[in-house]
Amino acid sequence: MPAVTASAIPATSPASLKAAVAPAAGQFDISGLFVSDKAARESSAASLAALAQKDGPKALQSVGFSDAVVKALADKKSPATREGAASAVLTLVKAGAVKALEPLFIDSGLYAALLEAFADKMPAVRTVAVEAVREYVAAMNPWAAALVLPALLHEIKTAGKWQLKTGSLTVLNQLVASAPTQVGRLTPEIVPVLSEAIWDTKADVKKAARDSLEKATALISNKDIERFIPALIKALINPVEEVPNTINLLSATTFVSEVDSPTLSLMVPLLSRGLTEKLTATKRKVAVIADNMAKLVDSPVTVRPFIPKLLPGLIKIESTVGDPEARGVVARAIATLRQVGDIPADSDGSDLPPLKKVDEKTLAHSLIGIYKKANASPVPSVASTEVMYVGNLAATLVNAKNFDLSEWQSLAPFLAYESTNPDPISIVNDWAVKSASQDDEEAGDAEDEEEGEDLCNCQFSLAYGAKILLNTATLRLKRGHRYGLCGRNGTGKSTLMRAITNGQVEGFPSPDEVRTFYVEHDIDGSEAETSVLSFILADTRIQAGKEEIIETLASVGFDEERQAGGIGALSGGWKMKLALARAMLFKADILLLDEPTNHLDVVNIAWLEGYLTSLTTCTSIIVSHDSSFLNNTITDVLHLNRFKLKRYRGNLESFMKAVPEARSYYTLEAAEDYQFKLPDPPLLEGVKTKEKSLLKMRKVGFQYPTQANQQLYDITLQVSLSSRVAVLGPNGSGKSTLVKLLIGDMEPNKGGEVWKHPNLVIGYVAQHAFHHIDNHLDKTPLEYMLWRYQTGEDLEEMMKANRQITEEEAQKMKDGGIVVVEGQKRIIEEIVGRKKLKQSYEYEVSFKNLSSSENIWLPRDDLIKRGFEKKVLEVDTREAQRLGLLVLSFVARSRSTSLTSVSRLSSSLTTPCVVSLVVRRSRLSSVLLHGVVPTSSVSMSPLTTSIVNRWLLLSRLSRSSRVVCSSLLTTVTSPSRSVPEVWAMRDGRLEASGHNWVEGQGSGPRIDKKAGEEDDQYDAMGNKIETKKAKKLTSAEARKLKKERMARKKRGEDITDDEL
């Protein structure tokens, strides 16, 4: 039920309405209102006003006031009679009897007769008539604006006499001033009429219409377009020249405020006109504006009146515009309008049934029911003038979703004329409550009324950079509940939780009232050298002693050795357990868990489920892509959709039944509409099949210097272009360590060899994914990319361990750097180039104190023997990345396009937004893109399935070779679908299955041949059979051969069929 709010403002007391002394109705002579003597007319009108104040509408009905005034206004022979009739109405209003007049004013024909008098031949009559209606609308109940407005607009639009139009515009101006809230809701009806009136042939009407338009549009309170209102009015006045310019202005605006009816009433005429413009760019901008504004509309009731003016035009453009990108923008706008307005897929919005509204008869019967329940005496009649009038006013209030008691109590004076027992104010209060409970649209809110302590109940808006995430959303949290925060990727789930932690959510309780702790999946890389125990002790927010901290850490698996070890040596799973242990020690009222199952194995996920469900006084808000974990844990769902938060009771399965489209948030199949658009990497020299190995490990061992035990033992593996690998194993089994050795971040220190193809480029995303951009948060995604590859080489590649030269290696290079050339000793200074040498390479070396003309070429094996292996690797990597980057253009505009198409970042986030202002999921997408920019042949990402949404995972698996590591693969997809090869890590040892490791090229299809090319053929002795393709003859050569054939034929020589 909508909130019924009370107010301290008292309503008019019924007793005060009868305080005036007046003659009885039977003693009043109605003809005195229309005599020629002005003083007599005014005296008679004053007496009637006193009578009306005493007895209300019945007094006016008993003397036949309405019929007499209507008849007098129609008397064409007596100007005095007409003026007296209008003056009588004016006197009643000024004397305070307007409430007695209101129930009769419209239905009796009095209002229509006064409007006709606006065009009376006598100026005095016109003036009094306009003044009478103007004073009436100023004094009437403001909720009656919807009752008097239609007649005004009809006259402005269709009246044949200009005085009638200007008079109606004067009354409209008064209506805007005296009932701004109510008229603001009616601007969709006002603006189109005024937009036509400003083109009237009469100068007076044009001027008055423009003045009224400016006053009506001043009611628009939307902060986003306030400054554009003058430009919008100009566009209405001069559409040919101003519409494109105004659309350009608005297209550069970020809409963050809620869009209401007044805003749409001014914007839609402009957008509708913009859809008819010739330029595709203008139509595209219209679609962008319509899409952005529709997302901020709060209710279908608001947008429905405007759908027929926008949706058909957008549908037509989608089918006719030639630009594919513009079609995509238009399609998004159409989808948003359909969703916001609840428009069926087979409708263009022009044939929609009217929205359900409450009518006055229904509310009048509801009122009579309340009177009967209260044992009123007498019970008013449902057909009475007063009851039907307050029914009209109440219908306006209900349809406006306004149940503020102070507004409803303004109806009490009308009911006081019918019955004073019981008190009309109490009757109106009960009526408001009953009407609110019967309101269909808001009935769902009653579900939020349940027992339990409220930890939070606030309404707020939230933006991230230039993007609106939540608009006037309501967040209500109960103690002990576990809420799953669900929504599409990029809607701001993690951002909302971080905003709560940073105190950026308006109305959220302060830390002194409610202790809130944010558990995220990344511990800052700067803490790598800090011990686990010291890390916890250094957190001043934790109110626990050292003994309790040690005991809690031990309860989640941290023994004394692990507590003393550094955080940097922990695997991803143990880092996550450390974050959870810290949350346990914090003893929070609200736990915010962002992907808490990241990096956790099955055993630890089960433990986390048990821990969370055991909390009876702590509330949790959980974001996770693990649907099984959510389903087993949560009690409620907070659905983040269309800038609102809506709560659903029950677990994830119940939520999906209520909202079927939410199933796409957790199913991999939904990802197939989101495919990466990555260019293919260049062919690697010497690699002729997909089975040829590109990376090899042979009997590799490794141990962290700070650890007592060895991490990896006797690892042997290889990777080829056909590899689709999942690395599985429990937390701490060495999965990420294995990947770091493969890419060269670390080097084997317990024996073994790691080999990679000289031209191989590896795309890598670290386990701490944002490690790549932590020092570049002030750059945009595009600027970060251009910085990273500014020299044509990946600057991060140069920082790896296999590129750092140790003292021992430097000494070996110094000893082996002496080369004797023509009897002269030279010292190698640098390796500057590379070229192919049979099955290997040779490298151009420069010498100290000698010019480049003295450079010589040395074979690869010779340089490696001299100790220059890492220098050779540096040149190989540079050349490999150069070949990959040739595929991509690094012009800023081209890179921005790649960022948008590859990482699916909005173009508004690729260039103008710095990395720190990009939402976490899009920031991760950007990181992944940068990892594959040089068209890598192999891409590796530790724990990819934990930190990447599902569409991203499926898309990445479609490229040439992927090493995908996951702590629990079954939470993402089945190995049979996308990763047939599995590397199982157990206690530092590798058990590989599903692989196809071969020596040499293997027997697979050739990738170095174009379609239709034949493989090399060999004879029985193994000699290659040289096959020469027939050379295509030029036209001159063909004519020459033809002449020779004809000459031989003439001489009688034989000619074969092949020669013809």
Q: Do the beta carbons of residue 418 and residue 386 sit within 8 Å?
A: yes
DSSP code, position 794:
-
Name beta bridge partners: 725. 963, 981
Nearby residues of 1059 by Cβ (< 8 Å), 6 or more positions away = 1045
**Total structural domains in the chain?**
5
pLDDT at 540: 82
Residue 285 in domain: yes
* pLDDT lower than 70: segments of the chain: 1-27, 439-451, 465-467, 521-528, 667-682, 765-778, 780-782, 791-793, 801-802, 881, 883-978, 1008-1025, 1027-1030, 1056-1060
Token pair in block for residue 560: 């004394």
Residues 528 and 490 in one domain: yes
Q: Do the beta carbons of residue 222 and residue 214 sit within 8 Å?
A: no
CB atoms inside a 10 Å sphere around CB 958: 12
Name the domain boundary from 416, 440, 464: 440
CATH code: domain of residue 296: 1.25.10.10
Residues 467 and 554 in one domain: yes
Residues 276 and 311 in one domain: yes
pLDDT at 714: 92
CB atoms inside a 10 Å sphere around CB 539: 12
With 0-12 / 13-18 / 19 or more C-beta atoms within 10 angstroms meaning exposed / middle / buried, residue 39 is exposed
pLDDT at 251: 82
Name the domain boundary from 352, 370, 385: 352
Residue 899 in domain: no
Residue 541 in domain: yes
Residues 348 and 388 in one domain: no
Rounded Cα–Cα distance for residues 238 and 470 (Å): 36
Q: Do the beta carbons of residue 832 and residue 844 sit within 8 Å?
A: yes
Rounded Cα–Cα distance for residues 53 and 18 (Å): 6
Q: Is 335 helix (H, G, I), strand (E, B) or coil?
A: helix
Give CA angle at 1044 (1040, 1049), nearest 5°: 145
Residue 555 in domain: yes
Residues 400 and 488 in one domain: no
Q: Which domain holds residue 1049?
A: 1030-1060
CATH code: domain of residue 872: 2.40.50.990
Residue 971 in domain: no
The residue type of 602 is: V
pLDDT at 635: 94
Name the domain boundary from 299, 333, 352: 352
Name beta bridge partners: 1006. 689
Residue 523 in domain: yes
Residues 434 and 462 in one domain: no
Nearest to 908 by CA among 360, 342, 255: 255
Residue 601 in domain: yes
Residues 559 and 651 in one domain: yes
The alpha helices in 186-306, defined as continuous H runs, are 187-197, 203-217, 229-237, 239-251, 261-274, 280-294, 300-303
Tens digits of per-residue pLDDT, 747-787? 898 889 888 887 777 777 666 555 556 666 667 666 777 77
Rounded Cα–Cα distance for residues 46 and 93 (Å): 10
Tens digits of per-residue pLDDT, 837-847? 887 889 999 99
962-965 and 981-986: which strand pairing?
unpaired
Rounded Cα–Cα distance for residues 919 and 467 (Å): 10
For residue 634, CA distances in Å to 43, 560, 649 come to: 76, 34, 9
Name the pTM for this structure: 0.61
Residues 509 and 654 in one domain: yes
Residues 289 and 405 in one domain: no
Residues 464 and 559 in one domain: yes
Rounded Cα–Cα distance for residues 526 and 200 (Å): 72
Residues 425 and 317 in one domain: no
pLDDT at 772: 57
Residues 281 and 426 in one domain: no
Rounded Cα–Cα distance for residues 562 and 870 (Å): 35
Residue 267 in domain: yes
- Alpha-carbon torsion 901, 903, 909, 911, what sign? negative
